Every structure is written in structure tokens, then in C-alpha cells.
Amino acid sequence: MTALIEPPTNDSAAVARTLLAEVDDLTAELVGRIRTGDHAYAESTALTDAELGLVVRDNLVSVLGQLSGNLGRRLQPATVVGRVKAELGVPLAAVLHAYRLAGRLLWERALKASTGTNLDVLPQLGSEMWRIIDDYSGAAAEAYGDYLTERVRRDDSERRALLRKLLSGDANDPTQRDIARALHLPPLGSFLVVHAEADPDALAPLLGLEDRLRAEFIESIWITEAGARIGLLNLATARVQDRVLDRLRDHATGRIGVSRTFTTAGHAGIALREAELAGRCAPPGAATVTVYGNTPIPLVLAHAPSASHQLADDVLGPVLELPAEERDTLLDTLALWFECGGSNTEVAQRLHYHRNTIHYRLRRIETLTDRRCSDPKSAAELYIALTAVRLIGLDRS
């Protein structure tokens, strides 16, 4: 809060008391100067002359009260001015200009009131008066800024509450259109929902992404829920999606799922489910970005986690029951074998082992699971079960 000054204890107080007796005339004069001297007030229909007069008089009484030795309410009138003008949308520059006009008017009247008296009081009076005007200007500016901060915080909270309703609503509910309109979303567009998994031991995911996207003219609204950060992105065109995915990869610290694009904001709830499932198409702890539909087999497994557990147990159960080191060695070799298109030679080169070592490990898996890698049906079952293990993290150690 702006520091207050003590009232003067000299003959300048007598001049201030003279002006205080003329406060109604001063008010009318200052209202006129403000109206003609600042277009922000002249064009305002939210503040009548009577309302402006009340505010002006209150401030003049307070300023002159301090100058005359009456402590009064001090900065309260300026605080009220700052908040009220911010609520009405009057520019802060106009508010501060009004205080300068007030100081100029008081100084002109002080010069007239001092005629024939000891003019030595004028320097002290001017110094005290402009110090008080400066205090009042500062207090009004501070209150103005506080209100804007509160309004941004309140508006942001309301937007996030509306987004939660949009994400949890039914696409066929007509109120979804009203919510989308309240969020300033177009009736038709290109939208995405992003679901970023949050690590409880790390910072919130996607920090700074909203500002980064805005700088690239991509609007987004974000909420933080238990274990996740969720965003609704309004794309200018569907072609912007690649740029969004690049930004998500830049900021990824965990699993991020992205829905398919959709054209009406009312489908955000369906898209959120897609984004959640897409995120679960990557192994836990991975810093990845997955778009719904781009990984068919993991997506099927993510849709049915219980069945995925059972599948992994049925196909790879004997392997999973091995000691952790042996189990992981066999599973990693099998994963790389699939990645290398079934080439034992390439797997051996990448692991820097002899080809016979890879052959032995694969035969061990075949023996334990009763499935041959050379049989397409068995290989498919092994691949799906291995993918399930990677996604759901089965661990029997």
C-alpha cells in the first residue's frame, strides 16, 4: 500500500480550509474539466455526471482534509476510485489524468486564495498537495491493478469450471452448445483434447505449453485434475495438428494422449476418453505422445485392461514367473526380435551377442510358452501378450 504522509502543520492549512469550504464549486469545475479533457470519460455511458461528481467530491474532501490538518479517511477514496473505474472499463491512464487535473485545479485555486496573505506558504502548500495527489494516484492505480488481477483469476476459474462441464457432458445435450459459446468456442471448428499424465513426484506436466501455443496463435484451455492435466485445443485448421504434436513432444515428461480431431466442442467428452486411452498405449513412465488410433494393438489392450492382464498371464505366464533378471532378459530379447522383423542376426548385432545366444533365448521362450516364433498365429499371440506386459507393467518379482 502507498505510504501515507502526515498533514502539514503550518499556515498552508488555512488555505486548504478555505478551499474545502468551496468544495462543491471545485467539484463542479473538476467534473467539467474531466469530461472535456479526457475522451475516456466523455465517451463513457457507464458513469453519469452525478456519479462522477460524487467520486470527485469524495476525493477532494479527503485531499483537502489532509492539507488542512484533518486526517480523515486518507487513501480510501482513491482506492474506491481505482476499483470502480476498473469495473467500468475506464482506462487507468484516464484515472491518473483525472488526478493530475485535480492537482492543477487545486493549485490554481490555492494561488487565488493566497492573494494578499503570506505568499511564503505557497511552496510548502504546493509540495504537500502534489505529494498527496501522488499518493492518491498510486493508491488508485494499485486498486485498479488488484481488481484486474482478481477478475482474471475469477474469469480463469469460471472458464475452467465450464471446461469441466464440457468434458463431462453428453454430446447430445443441447446445453453443451451454450457452454461452448460461453467459452468463446466456434460452433464448428477443429478441436483436440490432450490428456497428460502427471507424476506425483514431479512438476505439473506441460508447464508453459499454454503460453507457447498462444504465441503460435493456437488457443487452448487447461485444467488440472487428479493425476492429469487436460487441455481443449481450438485449432485454426486441421493442418495445425502436426505443430501441436511437436510442441507436446517438446514438453513431454510422461505419457500424453491426444484425441482425434473433432468439429464441434460438444464432443469434448468423447475426445477426452480417446485421449486417456491413447496415453495408456505407451508404457508407464515413458515420455511419449500418442494420437488415438495410431497404435491399434495397444489401443485394443488399453480398452480392456482386465482382459489384457489375463492375456499376458495366459500366454507369457511361465516367463513372468522366472526370476526378474532372467525374465527381463527374455522379454527384452523377444521385443527386439519383433522390432527387427524376426531376424536373429540383426538382434545379435544390436545386442553384441553371438547369433546362437539369441537363438537359445527364443527357444527358451518357445519351450516355456508352448508357442513357436516361426508360427504366425503363435507369434501374433506372443506379440500381443508382450505388448500387454509392457503397457500394464506385470511384475511378479
Angle at 322 between CA 316 and CA 327, to 5 degrees: 70
Instruction: Indicate the pairing of strand 288-291 with strand 255-258.
Output: parallel
Q: Contact at 8 Å (CB) between 372 and 378?
A: yes
CA angle 219, 225, 228 (to 5 degrees): 80
Rounded Cα distance between 120 and 201, Å, is 70
Neighbours of 375 (CB within 10 A): 12
One-letter amino acid at 236 equals A
Q: pLDDT tens digits, residue range 147-185?
A: 877 776 676 788 888 899 899 888 777 788 888 888 888
Domain contains 317: yes
Residue 159 is assigned to a structural domain of this protein: no
DSSP characters over 35-80: HHH-HHHHT-SSS-HHHHHHHHHHHHHHHHHHHTT--TTTTHHHHH
Q: Residue 60's domain spans which residues?
A: 12-150
Q: Does the pLDDT value for residue 16 go beyond 90?
A: no
271 plus 333 within the same structural domain: no
Is residue 222's pLDDT more than 70? yes
Are 36 and 115 part of one and the same domain? yes
Query: What's 252's DSSP letter?
Result: -
- Number of folded domains in the chain? 3
The residue out of 103, 128, 150 marking a domain boundary is 150
Rounded CA-CA distance 260/363 in Å is 41
Which CATH number belongs to the domain containing residue 316 in this structure? 1.10.10.2840
| Rounded Cα–Cα distance for residues 191 and 237 (Å) | 9
Give yes or no for residue 257 having a pLDDT over 90: yes
Q: Are residues 192 and 290 in the same domain?
A: yes
Cell 553384441, located at residue: 352
38 and 146 in a single domain? The answer is yes
Rounded to 5°, the CA angle 6-118-9 comes to 15
**CA distance linking residue 98 with residue 320, whole number of Å:** 78
pLDDT at res. 393: 73
Q: Are 44 and 98 in contact (CB under 8 A)?
A: no
Rounded distance between C-alpha atoms, residue 313 and residue 305, angstroms: 12
Residue 4 pLDDT > 60:
no
How is residue 397 written as a grid cell?
518379482
When computed from its CA atoms, the radius of gyration of the chain, rounded to whole angstroms, is 36
Check pLDDT > 90 for residue 1. Answer: no
User: 324 and 285: one domain?
Assistant: no
The count of C-alpha atoms lying within 13 angstroms of the C-alpha of 83, restricted to the half-sphere facing its C-beta, is 11
The C-alpha cell of 76 is what?
A: 480510501
Same domain, 238 and 287: yes
Mean pLDDT of 114-122: 67
pLDDT digits (tens, 9 = 90+) for 66-109: 888 776 557 888 998 888 888 888 888 888 999 999 999 999 88
User: What pLDDT sits at residue 115?
Assistant: 66
- Judgement on whether residues 63 and 131 belong to the same structural domain of the protein: yes
The pLDDT of residue 5 is above 70: no
Please provide the average confidence, as pLDDT, over all residues in the chain.
86
Q: How remote is the C-alpha of 65 from its chain's centroid?
A: 45
Residue pLDDT, tens place only, 345-378: 999 999 999 999 999 999 999 999 999 999 999 9
Task: Kindly indicate the confidence band of residue 38, based on its pLDDT and cuts at 50, 70 and 90.
Answer: low
Same domain assignment for residues 132 and 102: yes
Quote the pTM value: 0.63
- The CATH number linked to 19 is 1.10.490.10
* DSSP classification of residue 240: G
Per-residue pLDDT tens over the stretch 188-199? 999 999 999 987
Distance of alpha carbon 85 from the chain centroid: 27
How much of the chain exceeds pLDDT 90, in percent? Answer: 45
C-alpha cell at position 71: 486526517
* Three-state secondary-structure class, residue 195: strand
Asked whether residue 4 is assigned to any structural domain, the reply reads no
pLDDT at residue 187 is higher than 50: yes
Q: Based on the fold, state whether residues 38 and 103 are members of the same structural domain.
A: yes
CA-to-CA dists, residue 175 to 164, 181, 340, 385, angstroms: 13, 10, 52, 43
If you average pLDDT over residues 371-396, what whole number do you get?
A: 87
Let me know: does 225 contact 193? Beta carbons within 8 Å.
no
Contact 31, 56 (CB under 8 A): yes
